[in-house]
Structure formats: structure tokens, C-alpha cells
Chains A and B, each alone.
Chain A
Amino acid sequence: MRHPTYRRAAPPASGANPRLSDPLARLSGVLGILLLAALAACGNSAAAGSSSAGSSGTPQKGGNLVVDTLTPVSDFDVWETSDNESIWAYDQIGQTLFENGSDGKSVTPLLATSYSLSADQLTWTFQLRQGVRFSNGTPMTSADVVFSIEQEANQTNDTGWGYLDAAIKSVTATGPSTVQITTTTPWAPLLADLAFFGNAIVPNNYGGETHAQFYQNPIGTGPFMISQWVKGQYLKLVRNPNYWQAGKPYLDSVTFQAVADDNTRVLQLRGAQAQIIEDVPFGSIASVRSAGYDVGLFPSTRIDYVTMNEYNSGGADTNQWFTDPHVRAAISYAIDTQAIAQAVFFGYGQPANSPLMPSVEYYAPGQVDCCDLTKARQQLAESTYPNGGFSIDFITTEQDQVQYKIAQIVKADLAPLNITVNLRLLDPSTVTAQEQSFHFGMRETYWTMDIIDPDEYLSFVLDGSPAGGAYANFTHFDDPTLDSLIAEAETTFNSTSRAALYAAIQQRAAADAPIIWIGYSPYRYGYSSKVHGYSVYPEGNTHFEDVWLSS
């Protein structure tokens, strides 16, 4: 069955505007910078649980790798594309100044080699790497960098990714290999934002093409370049002869082939038609392994959760029950996330114990209390609906089995509280459309981090103020204290202070329970024993320049 990549809801309509709030001691600011730099420098050393495929042996040059993906690579336009397959394929072509580290908690320099921050924390100066060329042979200069970041920051698509660059005030080339970025306010997540694919470095003025033309066939400084792209079927990338990292990539080519059906992908792996397959179904992991293939359970940044709509439209679709925190708490206790981890993730995932995920910086476990029907009943008794007696519309789609199953489990779990859950089966786009127009009672969804900094995610999912941009994941939940904590954290550089703020945020969010945090699950990639050097980073991307095939 077709599983369209379950795309996250589009980024919020208005950018998360950083606020000028708490002043920071300059000293702690400098310390913060040093700490950040230290983290960035040793990003790759702590391989926190991330396994990598067959890294022993000498890499062999050559080979054509076939990767089966869930959906086809559809669109490289960095202003709007939001499906993971397109993003992760684009990562092989275009590179950014910084990249996400393998532990998912830091960034490492890539096209920039170093940076410094001004005393007022508003001006960042980056040194660019020497000897970098685009795949057509043109050397990369600061003019290209300026153009690339500006085109992302100043894009005309107001529902695109531009909001991630909202804090950027100006980008200038102060030399052939130096670029300066000023921000409107001290902005801690800047390096993480620069590691975002939208900020990949492209030729100045798109090399003479229009924006649309360029992204039909983009070039970059990355290890691979486009050879053939049959939209809807496959994308074939070949080695970039001008790639700046000596000796890499090992592979001659990487082909991304779209195979929507889970079974077919597994069969393709077993039939050697593909060497890597994306998204091995949880239920098939055991059988794939027993067939002699590996299934890498790479730590991901995925968290599944269920939202409860508090929007009071005053009309027929008013959800007045969710505004009562006791009702929300009761529902939180009633949903058996341990059973879900067992039945939906087949034991390969864990119940969520915090709004944040374990592989994200500032994660603080032990926040969420769950799976207790007695406590659920107690909470309900204290609420305005002591006997339940209302019904909720849970919008879901059969196209996403995880979502679909969790919806059915929630329905069963809330029945003992005398709360009726009506499952409304829709197609995936309608689910998102209804969610964004607030016409729903509950829905299940998930998040995977786009950048390593928790700010983007927490703003989206918890910030109910207009600045958050998404009305707390479209629930209209609004806790002004939480909002200001989030705003404060994004302008705090000192990592200890930041950690304290995020701990407070997680604790408060868990207690308020605007959202039911369900579980964490790993990325599941099947691969043959011929594949080496393969691993998937917590943000979901892969460095195919490190992968090699043995014969």
C-alpha cells in the first residue's frame, strides 16, 4: 500500500520572531560561545548509540548503490520542498556551512572552517574552506555564500522554510573567503539553522538561471551530482569529479528508487535489486534479519504524539472539554503508551517520557507519567466531566499505518472513561488541511528534527502565541509562562542556563499535557552485507560519500 511519506505539517506561517528579552552577562556569553565551539569541535567523537554498517575493511572505490525509498524524490526547491526523500537526496548535492554531527546534538564545520562571534553576539564571522568547487568546476567564493543564504532568508514563499533564517539581518562578503552574518538579536540556534539544507551553497545568481530552473537540475559542492532524474521513478546521482574531499565518494553512483510498498521493498533487498531499503516495517524486522540482512535501528529524533484541539470557535465544532487540564491529564494517564510501544513499534521503540527526544540536546527524561487507569479516573473525577460522556472526532488516515493503529488504540483506551472516540478516516492531505483549519478533535502525528536545536520543534509544538506560528501544533493551547520560557531559551547562549530553561519547559509541558506524548522509535534501514560505512544520522540524513560496496 502506498505510504506517502508522512510529511510533517508545513512550517508555521509566520516566522518565530526572536524577542529581545533577558539581558545576558557578557562573560557568560563568551563562555557560552566557547562551550558551543567545544561541542562543535568534538561533535563526531561521541557516537551515542549510533551504529554504522560494516565499518571495518578498506574502502573499495566503485560500485553502484541502489536505495529504495518510500516515496520518490519529488522536488528540490529549497523554498518549499518538505518530503524527507527529496531533502536527504539534496544533501548529497548541496552542502552547507555547517553540518549536523553524528550524535545529533551538535554541528561540525563543513564549508566553513571556523567562525567567531562578536562581543555583542550579533555579528558572526565565518572563514570559508579553500579549494571547494561546484560540480561544474567553478570555485566556490564568498559571493556564492552570500547569495545562497540571502535567497533562503529573503524568499517570497511565506509558507516555506524562510522562517528558520528569520533572525538573520544581513549577510555580507568581507573577503573572498570570509562572510559576515549579523542577526537582529543574539540568536543561539544560528549555526544549527545554517546547517539546514535550505541554506546550502549554490552558485551566485543560480549561475544565470531562474530559481525554478535551477532547482529542476541543481548543482552544488556535494559529493554527488545529478545524472538522471525520471520524476516519479528514480533519481540517479553520480560521483562529483570536482569534490573537495580527496578520495571520496567511493561509490560511482547512488540511485534512489521509489518503492511505496513495504513488502516490495523488503523483497527487493532480498532479491538484491536494492542494497539499502528505507523504512523496514517494525513487524518485518525479525524476518529480514533472519534472512541474513541487517536492519540498522539508528537512533532517530522521531517522537510520536497525539494532539488535542482546544480551539473554541463558538460554533458546532467547539471542543470545550480539552480546555480543562484535568480532562487532558485523565486522557494522558489512560493511554497505554507501553502497549503502543509493544504493538505498534514491536518493542523497537520506547514510550515517550518527555516532550523532547533522547537524541536531542537538553533532553530531560522522567517528565511524563503514564499508563495508570486509576489516576486517569481520579483526574476525570476532578474535571468538569466527571463521568466522561462526550465524543471526540479523531482524524486519521489508513495510508500511515502507525498513525492508524495508534488512533484505534486510543479509541479503545478511552472507552473505559466513557469517552467515545470517533475515527474519521481521511486521505493524508485532508487530515493535514483539517488540522490546520482547526477542524478536528484529536490527531496523531510525529516530528523529526530538521535542525539539531530544539527551538524550532518546541516553538512549533508548545508555543501558543502568534510568535510560535502554529498555535501549539494547531491545538490553540496557550500557556504564557511556557511561551516566555521558550522565547528566553532561544536567546540564551550559556548552555547551562539553556539546559535549565529547557528542563523547566519539558516539565511544565508534561504537566500541562496539551499533547499526549506517545513514543520514540528508531529509523529502520535494511541493508545487505555488501554495504559498508553506512549510518543514518539522528536528523535522518546519510553521508553517502562514506559508503562503499564490497564485491
Chain B
Amino acid sequence: MARYLVRRLLQLIPVLIGITIVVFLLLHLVPGDPARTLLGVRATPARVAALDREWGLDKPLPVQYVDYVGRLLQGNLGSSIYYQAPVTQLLGTALPVTLGMLAMGTVFGIVIAVPLAVLAATRAGRPADQLIRIIPLLGLGMPPFWVGFILLIIFGLTLSLLPVGGYGVTFPQHLVSLVLPALTVAAVMAPILIRSMRASLIEVLRSDFMTAARAKGISRWRILVRHGLRNTLIPTVSVLAVNLGYLLGGTVIVENVFGLPGVGHLLLSGIFDRDFDVVQSVTLIYALLVVIINLAADLAYARLDPRVVLGS
């Protein structure tokens, strides 16, 4: 396992380098004088000069890149012009919000998806299954932020059940504020989960193993729960990991709809405020998150499935 981990980490290095290159180049995509264009309204001669100095915009590109990586390795993510604070500080308060929403959303997603997937798999081919199979088809076409609208209308306007929007100040307030956003994330995640879980559950139900166990008299439910669900865990984890990029991206707008001060909100406001260090660093963080979670998923996959021979 350790050897596998080390190998994977080594394989990550070119990817990490690639990520920093892309993020670095984003700055240079902007047409015209980057510092001046970026600062826009705030372009005082002093600031433009400071920005030029900070990024060494007059030096050749490779040198600039090396400097940038150097700063990254020292943990310097730059500072926000709008908030007059280091980006690490802003991320420190924003990351828990986003991660909290994702975690809660994943839990909700699983809670929604598992029963439906089981129902569909055990009634494969029958009306209940047909109905449930439409969910992924509908779900793929739903803009994540629009799902947020619908939830807002139902729970906020019509029922006035849950507090909507904002993040609150105390921890209980935080939790309650995350419910609707998490439901939105779950609504995006569930269709994907249902589809893959259903498929692998059906495989289990039709497998020889299943027939043998039934022949021994073990109840269908027991097999399903003990073995079926465990076996779906593996492909589910990998499906989640594969779609992680898409899910994370969806959270960006969802945070906006609900006014959550998370990383996505930082990104969008950084973009509209032309707060470049923020945009660059947040994009980097997103990519890192995806890479880390994929790695964790791979390791979990390896742990869960004894058939996977590590390092082969």
C-alpha cells in the first residue's frame, strides 16, 4: 500500500506542475497590459508598479513561472486587493463552507440514491424501475443553479421552512444554512449515483454468486445488503471521483444562488472584482481538491476491493 501511495504521488507530480502552469497562464490570457487591465478601476500607478513587481511581469515568462512556483511552495497565495487580506486568510474561512456543503450534500445524495437504486434494481424492468431510470435522464439536463431556484421557491417562498441564504454566525446556524445548498448538490449527484449503483446492483443480483447464495437459503435482502451494497461501493466511489470535477464546478454557482460565502463565491466575486490573486489561487485550490480526492478515492478503491492488485 505504501509503495502504491508513493508511486501515485510520483505520478501526480507532472500533473501538479501542469496545473500550476495552466493557472499561471490564465493571467497571460487576458489581452492588453495584464496589470492595468486587471486592476481596472483600482489601477493607480503605485498599484500597477506593485503588481508588476510582485509578478515580475517584465521578466521572461519562464522566470516568472519559477518565481510563482517558489511563492506557492512557501505557502504564499497572494493577497486580495478588494479585501486587503491574504488569500490564505480568505480561503481559511471559505473552505469549511464549501467542504461542509459538499460533505452534507454527499450524505444526502447517498441517502436519496441508495433506496432508489435498490428499488430499481430489485424491480428491474418493471414500472418502478422504468420510472426511476428517468431520474438520471432528467438529472443530467438540470442546471445546478436552477435546481437551487426550485428548492428556494418550494422551501423558501412557499413553505418558509428552512432559513434560506447566508451562512449565519453560530455553528448551528451554519448547519441549518447548509441544508438547502446540500440538497441542491445531492440533487445533482443522486442521478449519477442512482445510475451506477443500479447497474452494479443488477449485476450482483444476476451473478452466479447470488444464485448460489439463494440456493443455500440466504434471503435476497440479506445478500443485497451485505454483499450487493458493498460491491456497489467500489464503482460508486470511482463514479463519484470521476464526476467530482463537474460536481465541484456546479457548487460554484449554487453557492451564489444561496449566498454562501464559500470558495465558489470567492471565485466569482474575484472574477467580477478583477481580484486576480484570488481567482488564480482559488482555481488552483479546486484543481488540488480534485486531485487529492481522486487519490483518496483510488486508495479507498484499493482498500475496498481485494481483487485490485496494487502496484501492478
The answer on direct contact between A and B (beta carbons under 8 Å) is: yes
Chain A residues close to B by CB (< 8 Å): 1-2, 4, 7, 9-10, 68, 72, 74-75, 77, 80, 156-159, 212, 215-216, 230-234, 236, 255, 257-261, 263-265, 267-268, 270-271, 273-274, 399, 427-430, 432-433, 436
Interface residues on B, range: 35 or more
Cα A236 to Cα B169 in complex, Å, equals: 9
Quick one: given A2-B272, A9-B41, A433-B40, are A216 and B167 in contact (CB under 8 Å)? no
Interface centre among B46, B165, B256 (most CB of A within 10 A): B165
Minimum CB–CB distance for A236 against chain B, Å: 7
Interface centre among A75, A80, A231, A258 (most CB of B within 10 A): A231
Contact of B272 among A212, A258, A264, A427 (CB under 8 A): A427
15 further A-B pairs in the complex, CB-CB below 8 A; given A231-B83, A429-B40, A433-B41: A1-B256, A2-B256, A4-B273, A9-B41, A10-B41, A72-B83, A159-B44, A232-B266, A233-B167, A255-B169, A259-B166, A267-B164, A271-B164, A273-B168, A429-B273
Cβ of B152 within 8 Å of any chain A Cβ, yes or no, is yes
Minimum CB–CB distance for A432 against chain B, Å: 5
Chain B residues close to A by CB (< 8 Å): 37, 40-46, 82-85, 89-90, 93-94, 152, 156-157, 160, 163-169, 256-259, 261, 265-266, 268-269, 271-274
Quick one: given A1-B256, A263-B152, are A230 and B93 in contact (CB under 8 Å)? yes
Q: For residue A432, which residues in chain B have a CB less than 8 angstroms away from its CB?
A: 40-41
Contact of B90 among A158, A231, A234, A257 (CB under 8 A): A231
Quick one: given A75-B83, A429-B272, are A270 and B46 in contact (CB under 8 Å)? no
Q: For residue B271, which residues in chain A have a CB less than 8 angstroms away from its CB?
A: 427
Tell whether, in the assembled complex, residue B94 and residue A232 are in contact, meaning their CB atoms are under 8 Å apart: yes
Cα A429 to Cα B82 in complex, Å, equals: 12
Q: For residue B266, which residues in chain A have a CB less than 8 angstroms away from its CB?
A: 232
Tell whether, in the assembled complex, residue A232 and residue B41 are in contact, meaning their CB atoms are under 8 Å apart: no
Tell whether, in the assembled complex, residue A10 and residue B272 are in contact, meaning their CB atoms are under 8 Å apart: no
Quick one: given A232-B93, A260-B256, A273-B163, are A157 and B169 in contact (CB under 8 Å)? no
Minimum CB–CB distance for B16 against chain A, Å: 27
Which residue of chain B is the closest to A287 with respect to CB atoms? B157
Minimum CB–CB distance for B91 against chain A, Å: 10
Tell whether, in the assembled complex, residue B259 and residue A259 are in contact, meaning their CB atoms are under 8 Å apart: yes
Tell whether, in the assembled complex, residue B272 and residue A399 are in contact, meaning their CB atoms are under 8 Å apart: yes
Tell whether, in the assembled complex, residue B273 and residue A233 are in contact, meaning their CB atoms are under 8 Å apart: no
Contact of A231 among B85, B157, B160, B273 (CB under 8 A): B85
Q: For residue B168, which residues in chain A have a CB less than 8 angstroms away from its CB?
A: 273
Contact of A232 among B45, B160, B166, B261 (CB under 8 A): B261
A-B contact pairs, 20 of them (CB 8 A): A75-B82, A75-B83, A231-B85, A231-B90, A232-B261, A232-B265, A232-B266, A233-B93, A234-B169, A257-B166, A258-B259, A260-B256, A264-B259, A267-B165, A273-B166, A427-B271, A428-B272, A429-B40, A429-B41, A432-B41
Dominant SS among interface residues on chain A: loop
Minimum CB–CB distance for B166 against chain A, Å: 5
Cα A1 to Cα B165 in complex, Å, equals: 12
Tell whether, in the assembled complex, residue B259 and residue A4 are in contact, meaning their CB atoms are under 8 Å apart: no
Tell whether, in the assembled complex, residue A68 and residue B40 are in contact, meaning their CB atoms are under 8 Å apart: no
Minimum CB–CB distance for A157 against chain B, Å: 7
Which residue of chain A is the closest to B261 with respect to CB atoms? A233
Minimum CB–CB distance for A240 against chain B, Å: 20
Quick one: given A75-B82, A230-B93, are A10 and B157 in contact (CB under 8 Å)? no
Tell whether, in the assembled complex, residue A77 and residue B84 are in contact, meaning their CB atoms are under 8 Å apart: yes
Cα A239 to Cα B89 in complex, Å, equals: 26
Tell whether, in the assembled complex, residue A2 and residue B268 are in contact, meaning their CB atoms are under 8 Å apart: yes
Which residue of chain B is the closest to A255 with respect to CB atoms? B169
Minimum CB–CB distance for A207 against chain B, Å: 19
Contact of A267 among B44, B157, B273 (CB under 8 A): B157
Quick one: given A260-B259, A273-B163, A429-B272, are A7 and B41 in contact (CB under 8 Å)? yes
Tell whether, in the assembled complex, residue B40 and residue A231 are in contact, meaning their CB atoms are under 8 Å apart: no
Tell whether, in the assembled complex, residue A74 and residue B93 are in contact, meaning their CB atoms are under 8 Å apart: no
Tell whether, in the assembled complex, residue A4 and residue B84 are in contact, meaning their CB atoms are under 8 Å apart: no
Contact of B165 among A80, A157, A259, A433 (CB under 8 A): A259
Q: For residue B46, which residues in chain A have a CB less than 8 angstroms away from its CB?
A: 156-158
Q: For residue B43, which residues in chain A have a CB less than 8 angstroms away from its CB?
A: 433
Minimum CB–CB distance for B154 against chain A, Å: 12
Q: For residue A436, which residues in chain B have a CB less than 8 angstroms away from its CB?
A: 41
Cα A329 to Cα B219 in complex, Å, equals: 86
Minimum CB–CB distance for A458 against chain B, Å: 22
Which residue of chain B is the closest to A157 with respect to CB atoms? B44
Tell whether, in the assembled complex, residue B40 and residue A430 are in contact, meaning their CB atoms are under 8 Å apart: yes
Minimum CB–CB distance for B145 against chain A, Å: 9
Q: For residue B273, which residues in chain A have a CB less than 8 angstroms away from its CB?
A: 4, 429
Cα A128 to Cα B78 in complex, Å, equals: 43
Which residue of chain B is the closest to A436 with respect to CB atoms? B41
Cα A430 to Cα B38 in complex, Å, equals: 9
